[in-house]
Structure 1
Amino acid sequence: MSAAASSWVRHDITDGVRRGIVFEVLVRRRTRAAVSGRATVPNDASTGGAAGSQPPVTECDSSELSHLLDLSETTISPGQEGNAPARSLAPMGSPELRLYDRGAASGPLSPAPESVGAGVPVSTTAFGDLPSVKAMGTGRAGIVVGFDTEFTTVDGARIIDSYQLVTPDPVDPSMMVEVVILPPLGSGARLSLHTALWTVVVAAELWHSALVPDEVGPRGVPRGAFWSDDWQERRDALAKLRVPIVLACHYGSADLTTFRTGGQSRELDSLVRLTSAAGGLVTLLPFRSQRGNENGHWWQSLSVSVRDTMSQAPAGKKSLAVLGEACGVTKLDVPEGWISRMTDYRREHLDEFLEYGINDAVIVVEYLARLWGDGVVPPITLSGGAAAALVDSGSSYLGASSPSEFRRKFAGLVDEDEGVEAVEEGDRLSFYAKRGRNPLDGAAAQLSSAFARAYHGGLNSCPMPGYYPTPTVDIDAQNAYPTAMALVRDLDWEAGAIEEVVHERSLTVDDVSSAATPFVGFVSFEFPADVAHPCLPIVADGTLVYPRTSEGVAGTWVCGPELWLALRLGAEVHCQIGYLGRELGQDGGPSLSLRHGVKQLIDDRNAAKKIFGKGSLEEQTLKTGVNSVYGKTAQDVAEQRSWDARAQEMDSVGGSAVSSPYHAATTTSFVRAQLLATMNQIVEHGGHVFSVTTDGFITDFTVDEVAGLDLYGLDEVLSDSRTALTGDPSIWEAKHAQDGLVNFTTRGNVSLSPGGVCAHNGLKAPKGTVPDSAEDRELLLTAVVTREGRVPNGYTRFPSFQELSRTEDRKDFLPSRVERSVSMDYDLKRQPVMPSMTPEMVPLPDGSVEEMATFTTQPWERVEDCLRARQIARDMAETGCLRTVAEWRDWNLKYTHGKGRRIVTPQRAVLMSIVMAHRQGVATIPTLADRSMTIADRLDWLGEWGLGTVSLGDWDNARRPERASQMLPIDTLDPYLDRMTSMAPGDHPTDADRLPY
Structure 2
Amino acid sequence: MHKSSFANTFTFKIEPDEQGGATKTVSINRHNIAGPPDPGEIKKKAVSAHLLIGFDTEYQTIKDRENQYAIEYGAQNDLLSYQFSIKLFDKNDLGQHPEAEGIVIPEADQRLSMEEFIGFAIGSLIEKHPEIILPTSIYLLGHFIRADLPAFSDFKEKARQGMSNIRSTFVTLKNAIPIRFSVGENEIAEFKVNIRDTILLSPANAKSLADIGEMLGFQKIQLGATQQEDKQIKQNMAKFRAERWPEFREYGIRDAQVCVRYAERVITQSDILFKAFKMPTTLTSFGTKLVLEGWKTAKQDALGILGREKVKERKFSQKLGYFITTTSTPYMEEVFYEEAFITETYHGGRNEQFLFGVADIGQWRDHDLSSAYTTAMSLIGLPDWRNLVNINSLDGIQPTDLTYVSVDFEFPDHVRFPSLPVRTSSGIIFPRKGHSKCAAAEIFLAIQLGAKLRFRRGVKVPFDAETKVFRDFIRTSIQNRNQHEKGSFDNLFWKEVGNSTYGKTAQGLRAKRVYNLNADDMESLPESKITQPYFASFITSYTRAVLGEMLNSFSQAVQVFSVTTDGFLSNADDVEVERATSGPLFRSFAQARKELDQSSEPLEVKHTVQRPIGWRTRGSATLVPGIGSNGIVLQKGGIKTDAFNDTVEENAEVVRLFLNRKPDQKIRYKSGIGIKDMMRNDTDFVYRSVSKRLSMEFDWKRVPIGEKEIDFEFEGQQYTHLTFETAPVETVAGFDHVRDAWEKYNKTGHHNLKTLADFRNFDVFQTALKIPGEKAALYLKKVDGDLHRLKRDLCRAFQHHQAGFDLIRSKNRVTHGYFRNALNHAGIPCEITDVENAKRKEFHPYQTPGTETVRQALAKLKQDYFPELDIGLFLPEDAMEKIQKSSEALAA
- Name the CA shift for 1:183/1:417 in 2 (closer, same or farther; >3 Å): farther
Q: Could you tell me how far apart the structure 1 residues matched to 2:726 and 2:242 are?
A: 64
Question: How high is the sequence identity, in percent, across the aligned residues?
Answer: 25
Q: Could you tell me how far apart the structure 2 residues matched to 1:360 and 1:475 are?
A: 36
- Corresponding residue for residue 322 of structure 2: none
Indicate whether 1:182 and 2:182 are aligned.
no
Indicate whether 1:364 and 2:259 are aligned.
yes
Contact 2:81 2:106 in 1 (8 A): no
Contact 2:551 2:580 in 1 (8 A): no
Indicate whether 1:444 and 2:335 are aligned.
yes
- Name the CA shift for 1:677/1:800 in 2 (closer, same or farther; >3 Å): same
TM-superposition CA deviations, 1:767-795 (whole Å, max 9, x none): 54321x2x544443343234343553221
Structure 1 residues 283-298: aligned runs within 5 Å? 283-289=172-178, 297-298=186-187
Q: Could you tell me how far apart the structure 1 residues matched to 2:130 and 2:461 are?
A: 57
Deviation at 1:694, TM superposition (A): 1.0
Contact 2:139 2:195 in 1 (8 A): yes
Contact 1:475 1:734 in 2 (8 A): yes
- Corresponding residue for residue 12 of structure 2: 24
Structure 1 residues 612-627: aligned runs within 5 Å? 613-627=485-499
Matching residue within 410, 417, 426 for 1:533? 417
Structure 1 residues 711-722: aligned runs within 5 Å? 712-722=583-593
Q: Could you tell me how far apart the structure 1 residues matched to 2:665 and 2:208 are?
A: 30
Q: Could you tell me how far apart the structure 2 residues matched to 1:559 and 1:900 are?
A: 39
TM-superposition CA deviations, 1:115-136 (whole Å, max 9, x none): xxxxxxxxxxxxxxxxxxxxxx
Contact 1:455 1:638 in 2 (8 A): no
- Name the CA shift for 1:210/1:901 in 2 (closer, same or farther; >3 Å): farther
Indicate whether 1:461 and 2:461 are aligned.
no
Contact 1:145 1:165 in 2 (8 A): yes
Q: Amino acid of the residue matched to residue 151 of structure 1? A: Y
Q: Could you tell me how far apart the structure 2 residues matched to 1:745 and 1:268 are?
A: 44
Matching residue within 571, 574, 579 for 2:459? 579
- Corresponding residue for residue 489 of structure 1: 381
Q: Could you tell me how far apart the structure 1 residues matched to 2:366 and 2:472 are?
A: 30
SS in 1 for 2:107: coil
Larger RCO (alpha carbons 8 Å, 6+ apart): 1
TM-superposition CA deviations, 1:484-535 (whole Å, max 9, x none): 1122223123xx151x213xx5x3342x2x1011111233323333322222
Contact 1:148 1:165 in 2 (8 A): yes
Q: Could you tell me how far apart the structure 1 residues matched to 2:113 and 2:351 are?
A: 48
Q: Could you tell me how far apart the structure 1 residues matched to 2:370 and 2:504 are?
A: 20
- Corresponding residue for residue 400 of structure 2: 516
- Name the CA shift for 1:790/1:21 in 2 (closer, same or farther; >3 Å): farther
Q: Amino acid of the residue matched to residue 82 of structure 2? A: Y
- Name the CA shift for 1:803/1:742 in 2 (closer, same or farther; >3 Å): same
- Name the CA shift for 1:901/1:733 in 2 (closer, same or farther; >3 Å): farther
- Corresponding residue for residue 280 of structure 2: 379
Q: Amino acid of the residue matched to residue 531 of structure 1? A: V
Indicate whether 1:273 and 2:273 are aligned.
no
Q: Could you tell me how far apart the structure 2 residues matched to 1:756 and 1:354 are?
A: 36
Q: Could you tell me how far apart the structure 1 residues matched to 2:443 and 2:736 are?
A: 24
- Corresponding residue for residue 115 of structure 2: 194
- Name the CA shift for 1:184/1:746 in 2 (closer, same or farther; >3 Å): closer
- Name the CA shift for 1:296/1:416 in 2 (closer, same or farther; >3 Å): farther
Indicate whether 1:709 and 2:698 are aligned.
no
Deviation at 1:707, TM superposition (A): 2.8
Contact 1:83 1:244 in 2 (8 A): no
CA RMSD for the aligned pairs? 3.8
Deviation at 1:827, TM superposition (A): 0.7
Structure 1: stretches of 5+ with no match in the other structure: 1-11, 28-40, 47-81, 88-138, 213-242, 421-434, 904-997
Deviation at 1:875, TM superposition (A): 3.7
Q: Amino acid of the residue matched to residue 142 of structure 2? A: C
Contact 2:163 2:172 in 1 (8 A): yes
Deviation at 1:597, TM superposition (A): 1.3
TM-superposition CA deviations, 1:676-727 (whole Å, max 9, x none): 11112214x6433221111111222224422333565212211210110112
- Name the CA shift for 1:594/1:849 in 2 (closer, same or farther; >3 Å): same
- Name the CA shift for 1:182/1:616 in 2 (closer, same or farther; >3 Å): closer
Q: Could you tell me how far apart the structure 1 residues matched to 2:244 and 2:352 are?
A: 55
Q: Amino acid of the residue matched to residue 837 of structure 1? A: E
Contact 1:537 1:556 in 2 (8 A): yes
- Name the CA shift for 1:676/1:294 in 2 (closer, same or farther; >3 Å): same
Q: Amino acid of the residue matched to residue 843 of structure 1? A: E
Q: Could you tell me how far apart the structure 2 residues matched to 1:245 and 1:679 are?
A: 53
- Corresponding residue for residue 604 of structure 1: 480
Contact 1:288 1:301 in 2 (8 A): no
Q: Amino acid of the residue matched to residue 378 of structure 2? A: A
- Corresponding residue for residue 935 of structure 1: none
Contact 1:548 1:859 in 2 (8 A): yes
Structure 1 residues 946-985: aligned runs within 5 Å? none
- Corresponding residue for residue 759 of structure 2: 888
Indicate whether 1:168 and 2:87 are aligned.
yes
Matching residue within 294, 307, 324 for 2:196? 307
Structure 1 residues 781-800: aligned runs within 5 Å? 781-789=655-663, 791-800=665-674
Q: Amino acid of the residue matched to residue 651 of structure 1? A: E
Q: Could you tell me how far apart the structure 1 residues matched to 2:611 and 2:557 are?
A: 20
SS in 1 for 2:510: coil
Indicate whether 1:253 and 2:253 are aligned.
no
Deviation at 1:629, TM superposition (A): 1.6
Q: Could you tell me how far apart the structure 2 residues matched to 1:441 and 1:168 are?
A: 49
Contact 1:371 1:618 in 2 (8 A): no
SS in 2 for 1:269: helix
Deviation at 1:202, TM superposition (A): 5.0
Contact 1:538 1:545 in 2 (8 A): yes
- Corresponding residue for residue 102 of structure 1: none
- Corresponding residue for residue 427 of structure 1: none
Contact 2:147 2:685 in 1 (8 A): yes
Deviation at 1:742, TM superposition (A): 2.4
Deviation at 1:262, TM superposition (A): 7.8
Q: Could you tell me how far apart the structure 2 residues matched to 1:45 and 1:262 are?
A: 29
- Name the CA shift for 1:680/1:567 in 2 (closer, same or farther; >3 Å): same
> Which structure's residues are more often strand, by fraction?
2
Q: Could you tell me how far apart the structure 1 residues matched to 2:441 and 2:89 are?
A: 56
Aligned pair count reads 708
Matching residue within 712, 726, 730 for 1:842? 712
SS in 1 for 2:111: coil
- Corresponding residue for residue 14 of structure 1: 3
TM-superposition CA deviations, 1:569-613 (whole Å, max 9, x none): 232333433210121x2xxx43212122111101111111xxxx2
Deviation at 1:443, TM superposition (A): 0.6
Deviation at 1:342, TM superposition (A): 5.2
Indicate whether 1:394 and 2:280 are aligned.
no
SS in 1 for 2:339: helix
Q: Amino acid of the residue matched to residue 525 of structure 2? A: V
TM-superposition CA deviations, 1:179-217 (whole Å, max 9, x none): 64736522x2222223433444555469999885xxxxx
Q: Amino acid of the residue matched to residue 541 of structure 1? A: S
Contact 2:409 2:452 in 1 (8 A): yes
Q: Amino acid of the residue matched to residue 251 of structure 1? A: F
- Name the CA shift for 1:325/1:875 in 2 (closer, same or farther; >3 Å): same
Deviation at 1:846, TM superposition (A): 2.1
Answer with 408-417 or 475-484: which moved more: 408-417
TM-superposition CA deviations, 1:264-316 (whole Å, max 9, x none): xxx53358612223x75322323232658699944443322211111222223
Indicate whether 1:872 and 2:860 are aligned.
no
SS in 2 for 1:286: coil
- Name the CA shift for 1:343/1:532 in 2 (closer, same or farther; >3 Å): closer
SS in 2 for 1:439: coil
Q: Could you tell me how far apart the structure 2 residues matched to 1:286 and 1:741 are?
A: 51
Answer with 196-205 or 778-787: which moved more: 196-205
Q: Could you tell me how far apart the structure 2 residues matched to 1:478 and 1:161 are?
A: 46
